[in-house]
Amino acid sequence: MSTRTWMITGASGGFGALMTRKLLERGDTVVAAVRRPQALDDLLATYGGQRLQTVRLDLTDAGSIRAATDAAFAANERIDVVVSNAGHGTFGAAEELTDAQIERVIGVNLLGSIHLIRAALPHLRAQGGGRVLQVASEGGSIAYPNFSAYHASKWGIEGFVESVRQEVAPFGIDFTVLEPGPSPTGFGDALDTAPATPVYDPTPSGDVRRMLRTGEGFDWSDPALIAEASIAVADVTPAPVRLALGRGAYAQIRAALQTRLAELDAQRTISESVAA
């Protein structure tokens, strides 16, 4: 397979960092879109120059996103794959969260991803196509207590992608939403956590808070293997709309879809009764 050029947001940590390292090791070129380019100094020392490029990007600033994306495409003859990876996590029952916490997780995960995709589309269309990998989560198809704002951002970006992919398919632009399950990437440690309200302690909200504190009850996946699978799916044609990553993610998403289908089937008579 010929080498490719990738643009990856959030390339300094988590899946983004793992993907960046693996791609560089196999000979590809990566444009790392990050808030702090110095976080990549170790990789820049080895691959800096044409193979590893950095652009400064703030996902809370639409102007910054457009400027970084324009610069990345201007510096390269072609960018084959855009990976919308950077994200933010907020944890707490809905009424425990502050306005600022909700606005930040929606601003980064949903609006930031939307602005990135919109900024990339004219370039991808002009070059005759490309692939976008949108990192969501199993939490883009299922929901747990205490992650309401996070789920809103992930369900939202999945809906956006499903619509946009239909708009741009005629231009050779493909999308895949990645839905990884829990993995030890430091996501839990970085969560913006709201103070607990005692009234929620004996509820499912309290149960999930205790699970997160102990780390027990999660079906963990290997983040390095998730990164490898995410890279590999860019070669799959036709591009899958979604890719569940993890044994737990597969089982949880499948169970949720079966429940939703059963509920829908049970409503068929009522649904059809309102037809004009």
Just list the catalytic residues: 150
Cβ contact 174:238 at 8 Å:
yes
Q: Spell out the SS3 assignment of the chain.
A: CCCCEEEEECCCCHHHHHHHHHHHHHCCEEEEEECCHHHHHHHHHHHECCCEEEEECCCCCHHHHHHHHHHHHHCCCCCCEEEECCCCCEECCCCCCCHHHHHHHHHHHHHHHHHHHHHHHHHHHHCCCEEEEEECCHHHCCCCCCCHHHHHHHHHHHHHHHHHHHHHHHHCEEEEEEEECCCCCCCCCCCEECCCCHHHCCCHHHHHHHHHHHCCCCCCCCHHHHHHHHHHHCCCCCCCCEEEECHHHHHHHHHHHHHHHHHHHHCHHHHHHCCC
